[in-house]
Amino acid sequence: MFGLAFAFGTVSRSLPSAPSRPLIDQAGRLDIAAALAGDEPIFVSDYFSFVGADEKGQVAFAIDNDRARRGKKFTADAHVVLHAEGEGWISVSGGGDYENRQKELLAIPDSEAFHFSGNAAEGFILNSRQNRLTLAVDPVRERLRRESAASLYSLGSTPATLTWRERTIRGRVIYEYIFMKNPSPWYSYLSGLYYNDFQGIYLKTERGDDLYLHSSKGTSWSAMVEPIAGFLVRAGLDENLDDLRVEVTERRFGLGLYRWPQAWNIIWKGKEGMGTLAVKVVDRKTVTNWLIGGFAMATIRGEMTYGGVTQQVYGLAELIR
């Protein structure tokens, strides 16, 4: 989870299932095959943020599958949230650490609750009988990418359908992929973001477009991604959010010595001039609280104006204090 983007040129091809020929930057090319064949520590993550709607209302679902190798130990975990308009946050079984029996790194290892098949180039299927849930993800179109000799970070988006209970909910997925060599012993997906006021926003517009952005005061991830960046997909065409400015206009106290962001005003410069976004938290779920900070997910709603068109937007916000 926790999308972090970067101001790179637009990429129009699909993500490879195993990114064997990625774009390179001045730091060099990541050799994934060599990393897998070696014995150095590795961290890999696939994150899916879904937003869709049917006649009963909006539904937001996110799942982050992390796995790692350190020495001879292979680990895996899943972080999952589900929110339905009119019902609030839905309890989902199968989250947390689980045994990586297959010692998988590139593929997402199965757990008792979740089974993944496919890849980014061909599309994914997530099945969870325990939760009466299936997520079908179309082939992913890569939107932003950054690579060094030690890491690969990529963001994409695509249509997707969530089947949950007796509902069929059509929408969009924003997909994030990370492959990292030699993370520090204390490394986790969140470790570089704690206490840095990280805000990741994943939105679908009423016309079915995608908008992603993040803002962070920290520098722990700056070698891989920039502290503030994002992208917009409009009518199938993607562009970076240049001169992006994120202002938190309202905060609410958390259960500790900190305050959660509650509303934002956001501006950027795009191909068709200035864009504006005003969004506010609808419903927030605190996942972790340690008094001086915390991690929460929230559903957010608001309005985007760009290219002479104003659209309603709905989606998820990831908040790390």
> d(Cα 3, Cα 137) in Å, to the nearest integer?
17
* Residue percentage of the chain with pLDDT more than 90: 70
Mean pLDDT of the region 300-315: 97
The residues facing 180 across adjacent strands are: 43, 151
Residue with tokens 């496919």: 118
Q: Is the pLDDT of residue 81 over 70?
A: yes
Q: Is the pLDDT of residue 194 over 60?
A: no
Chain CA centroid to CA 90, Å: 19
The ranges assigned to domains in the chain are 32-320
Mean pLDDT of the region 116-133: 96
Q: Which CATH class is domain 32-320?
A: mainly beta
- pTM equals 0.88
**Residues 298/281, Cβ–Cβ less than 8 Å:** yes
> d(Cα 60, Cα 151) in Å, to the nearest integer?
29
> d(Cα 211, Cα 81) in Å, to the nearest integer?
20
Q: Where are the alpha helices (DSSP H) in the chain?
A: 32-37
**Residues 70/43, Cβ–Cβ less than 8 Å:** no
Q: Is the pLDDT of residue 192 over 50?
A: no
> d(Cα 256, Cα 195) in Å, to the nearest integer?
13
Amino acid at 284: R
